[in-house]
């Protein structure tokens, strides 16, 4: 974002400061209540939720929730081949319909396209539940195979950051905000097309070593000092002091 700003206004004389957003996540509480919130989700959708991906956030056009639907349905209709190093009982992977997709969030008012999209959710493996509290969402993130972000445009997505903080894999659509936050194949997976999304789903579901590496790298990256509350306080304090200084280039002349 800063690079784009500098390209558009290279001679801007005012103050430009980058202050990363901060997320507050209680991982201990999310893990403690994970089974409770998973059971709640199963009651809401009416089936067992062993393996699932989530798309979280208010459903509105810019979030493009429909982008993931067809690729997911196509991907989910075929069996998967787990990697050699996969652990546990993987028989479920060899059968079609091995995952569920859950949309979590309220619907923006006066959005016929979103209402039409929700009406099209007829698959028994695709579900929508209304907004949940933060604690429940974090537990469901931990229970899921990953968070999918399909947004056409993003700033600094708090949902992505929360997932990274919890150690949940993130699959994000390519846009400036997502690409600034997530490094492809390092701290998450980036996709630009439906076909790329299907490949990302396969990699996260089957390549356990990749999944662990991405999650660990994202967790370490999001826990660096720049994303901690104390740093945000210091940054804002400095920004306000600069803005209020009489000789500041941003200070209004009398």
pLDDT of residue 94: 65
- Stretch 10-20: mean pLDDT, rounded? 76
Using alpha carbons only, give the angle 62, 219, 175 rounded to the nearest 5 degrees.
25
pLDDT of residue 253: 41
Among the listed residues 254, 253, 251, the one whose alpha carbon sits nearest the alpha carbon of residue 15 = 251
Q: Decide if 231 is inside a domain.
A: yes
Per-residue pLDDT tens over the stretch 68-110? 999 999 999 998 876 544 444 555 566 788 999 999 999 988 8
Domain count, the chain: 1
The tokens for 40 are 């709640």
Q: Strand, coil or helix: what is 180?
A: helix
The tokens for 181 are 């936050």
Q: Decide if 12 is inside a domain.
A: no
For the chain, give the percent of residues with pLDDT over 90.
63
pLDDT of residue 252: 42
Q: Strand, coil or helix: what is 168?
A: coil
Cross-sheet strand order for the sheet of 189-191: 126-129, 100-104, 52-56, 146-149, 170-173, 189-191
**Distance from C-alpha of 192 to C-alpha of 173, rounded to nearest angstrom:** 6
Q: Decide if 19 is inside a domain.
A: no
pLDDT of residue 83: 56
Among the listed residues 99, 81, 101, the one whose alpha carbon sits nearest the alpha carbon of residue 91 = 81
Q: What is the DSSP letter of 149?
A: E
The tokens for 196 are 């790329």
Residue 13 has pLDDT above 90, yes or no: no
Number of Cβ atoms within 10 Å of the Cβ of 188? 28
- Stretch 123-130: mean pLDDT, rounded? 96
Determine the straight-line distance between the first and last CA of the chain, rounded to whole angstroms.
32
Contact between 129 and 104 under an 8 Å Cβ cutoff? The reply is yes
Q: Strand, coil or helix: what is 43?
A: helix
Query: How does residue 9 score in pLDDT terms, banded at 50, 70 and 90?
Result: confident
For the chain, give the percent of residues with pLDDT over 70.
91
Identify the helix (H) or strand (E) that includes residue 194.
Answer: helix 194-206
pLDDT of residue 237: 84
The whole domain housing 37 covers 24-80+90-243
The tokens for 227 are 């994303």
pLDDT of residue 81: 72
pLDDT of residue 67: 97
The tokens for 131 are 């907004």
The tokens for 5 are 């700003």
Q: Decide if 10 is inside a domain.
A: no
Q: Decide if 173 is inside a domain.
A: yes
**Distance from C-alpha of 151 to C-alpha of 40, rounded to nearest angstrom:** 27
The tokens for 28 are 């201990």
Q: Decide if 253 is inside a domain.
A: no
pLDDT of residue 249: 53
pLDDT of residue 82: 62
Which residues touch 227 (CB under 8 Å, ≥6 apart)? 20, 21, 22, 23, 161
pLDDT of residue 1: 65
pLDDT of residue 199: 96
Q: Decide if 148 is inside a domain.
A: yes
pLDDT of residue 200: 97
Q: Decide if 9 is inside a domain.
A: no
Beta bridge partner(s), residue 100: 52
pTM, two decimal places: 0.83
CATH number of the domain residue 106 falls in: 3.40.50.2000
pLDDT of residue 251: 42
Average pLDDT, the chain: 88
Per-residue pLDDT tens over the stretch 186-244? 999 999 999 999 999 999 999 999 999 999 999 999 988 887 777 777 877 887 887 78
Which of 1-10, 18-27, 32-41, 222-231 has maximum average pLDDT?
A: 32-41
């Amino acid at each position: 974002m800063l690079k784009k700003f500098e390209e558009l206004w290279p001679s801007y004389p005012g103050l430009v400061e980058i202050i990363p957003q901060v997320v507050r996540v209680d991982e201990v509480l999310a893990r403690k209540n994970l089974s409770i919130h998973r059971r709640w989700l199963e009651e809401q959708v009416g089936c067992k939720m062993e393996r699932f991906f989530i798309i979280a956030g208010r459903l509105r056009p810019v979030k493009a929730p429909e982008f993931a639907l067809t690729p997911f349905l196509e991907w989910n209709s075929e069996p998967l081949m787990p990697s050699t190093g996969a652990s546990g009982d993987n028989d479920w992977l060899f059968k079609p319909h091995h995952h569920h997709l859950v949309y979590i969030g309220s619907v923006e008012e006066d959005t016929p396209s979103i209402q039409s999209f929700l009406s099209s959710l007829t698959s028994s493996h695709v579900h929508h539940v209304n907004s949940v509290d933060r604690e429940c969402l974090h537990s469901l993130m931990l229970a899921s195979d990953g968070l999918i972000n399909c947004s056409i445009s993003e700033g600094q997505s708090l949902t992505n950051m929360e997932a990274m903080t919890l150690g949940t894999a993130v699959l994000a659509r390519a846009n400036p905000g997502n690409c600034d936050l997530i490094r492809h194949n390092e701290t998450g997976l980036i996709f630009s097309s439906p076909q790329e999304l299907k490949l990302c789903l396969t990699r996260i579901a089957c390549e356990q070593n990749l999944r662990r590496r991405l999650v660990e790298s994202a967790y370490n990256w999001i826990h660096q000092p720049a994303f901690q509350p104390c740093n945000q306080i210091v940054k804002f304090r400095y920004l306000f002091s600069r803005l209020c200084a009489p000789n500041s280039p941003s200070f209004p002349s009398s």
